[in-house]
Structure 1
């Protein structure tokens, strides 16, 4: 007996495998959001961090992006802020003025930012300097 494309998967007739995969993706996204929120709170609580009163939601998202990019490059944003506060301010200022937010967000989401940031990031030179320091 031939199985048509319209028949359910014989090994997973109730679609449990697909549902489990979708659930895992949702959990991963929720974890990333929680980590980003925690990191943003830590950044805002630092004495030399940006002023939380003047930070718009878009600006906050951009600052989360630079921190996430730094972590993908094995740079600790908190350590950089502590050891090189002026460099961190320059990174944040360039990130806040960046016009490539969507490309950056896509690369961070896809996990390719560490390989492609030099193509679009205004902080590429500064980040490379910090990585080589």
Structure 2
């Protein structure tokens, strides 16, 4: 359709308009991804100067990590005192994770300790921690 509401003779089915809308959505998604990466960098920089306040979603991800560690029989507070840098690394990976809903579901059903290697970005680090 043209600006006047008449069909475009070169695009009678609106394919070009749909593609333009799709491209705009992809561009917005990339911009959000870039903003998310910038936010992660900011959080990591702020972590060096002290804890930054976390959003509710970020708090939920960090809570999931604590619940998973407890499910793996790791004393979260003792580990945080013993290896604060390693704990911050685990938390940073959780903050960047895209599998929060699966993690929450696995924790809720009690299967996270068995299934985390299939979805958790911290799987290798958690395996080392369990072996130690």
Question: Scaled by the length of structure 1, what TM-score is found?
Answer: 0.60
Within a 5 Å distance, the mapping from 1:118-133 to structure 2 comes to: 118-133=117-132
Provide Cα deviations, 1:39-92, integer angstroms capped at 9, x if missing partner: xxxxxxxxx9x72x5210000000000000000000111111111111101000
Matched residues in 1 for 2:129 and 2:98: separation? Answer: 22
Matched residues in 2 for 1:54 and 1:78: separation? Answer: 19
Matched residues in 2 for 1:89 and 1:95: separation? Answer: 10
Aligned length, in residue pairs: 84
Unaligned runs of 5+ in 2: 1-47
Larger Rg, first or second structure (1 or 2)? 2
Q: Which has the higher helix share?
A: 2
Equivalent residue number for residue 8 of structure 2: none
C-alpha deviation, 1:119, in angstroms: 0.2
Question: SS where residue 89 of structure 2 aligns?
Answer: helix
Equivalent residue number for residue 99 of structure 1: 98
Equivalent residue number for residue 55 of structure 1: 54
